[in-house]
Every structure is written in structure tokens, then in C-alpha cells.
Amino acid sequence: MTEDRASEHTPEAFAAWLRAVMERRGYAERGGQGRFARDAGVSENNLSRILRALGTPDVRTLEPIAVFLNVPLIEVLVRACVLKPSDVAALNHARLDPKPITTERAAAELGITSAEGISAFERTVRGLRATEPSSPENPQNNRASG
């Protein structure tokens, strides 16, 4: 996984990153770990496990840490090895595609490639769309019901 730079995303690397952030924010002195846990709203035991690089932290622990540090949760999830950078890239790509998916593209992505299969899929989609309530997003459904 060279595109993920997997060696940079390990529990040890996350622990080192979090320790460095804590130091920069004044949590390096004695009792700093407990104070950070309280200030971030996480369990001291969970924070200790993270700082000792013991496994992958739970999202319920990482979210308050991200909020407290004012760091995007997605960045913390990648650093903590919950998500891979390629997962984030795929999510971003999906979010950046503003066009609604066409029935042809949906069929292709579902592995429907024969002309008969595509035609049947399109008929099914048209039938499902006909059951949707009228809305500005679906002008083809704005006809009067009889």
C-alpha cells in the first residue's frame, strides 16, 4: 500500500503525534495526561492506551479529541489507523461528484452489461421513480395522479 504510506499510519505514529500535540498545548508536565483527558472529555484509561499505542482507538474516543484539538475528525481517524488515506480519497471523490448517477452508470457499476439487462434495469428504475412524491428535483413526477 504505497499510496497509503501505511508506515506513517501506525498506532505508534499516532501516539507520537498526539503526544507532540499535547506538549505544544501545555500538557507535557506532570499530571498533564489526566488534565488533557478531562479537558477533551475522554477517559484517562483510553487516553493512556492511545499514548501507549495499544491497538486502534475507538471513534467515540477520537471524536472528542478531534473536537478539543480543533482538528478535522477525518484527519484524526487516518492518523489513528481507523481509516486509510485511500478510504478518504474515495469518500472525497464520491462527495465531489455533483451529478446525480444515471441509470446507465448505475447499471454498469452493478455489473449489468447486457442490452436486455440494462433495459430491464431502466424500466425498474422508471417504475420506482413513478412511486416517488412530486418534487422540484424530480420534474417527471409532477404529473397529476388519476
25-76 pLDDT per residue, tens: 999 888 999 999 999 999 999 999 999 999 888 889 999 999 999 999 888 9
Q: Out of 4-13, 80-89, 104-113, give the one with best mean pLDDT.
A: 104-113
Q: What residue has cell string 489526566? A: 34
Question: What is the tens place of the pLDDT at every residue in 119-128?
Answer: 998 999 888 8
Percent of the chain surpassing pLDDT 90: 37
Per-chain mean pLDDT for the chain = 81
Q: Which amino acid is at 145?
A: S
Which neighbouring-strand residues pair with 135? Answer: 138
Q: Rounded to whole angstroms, how far apart are CA atoms 27 and 34? A: 9
pTM exceeds 0.75: no
pLDDT of residue 15: 94
With pLDDT > 70 as the criterion, what percentage of the chain qualifies? 79
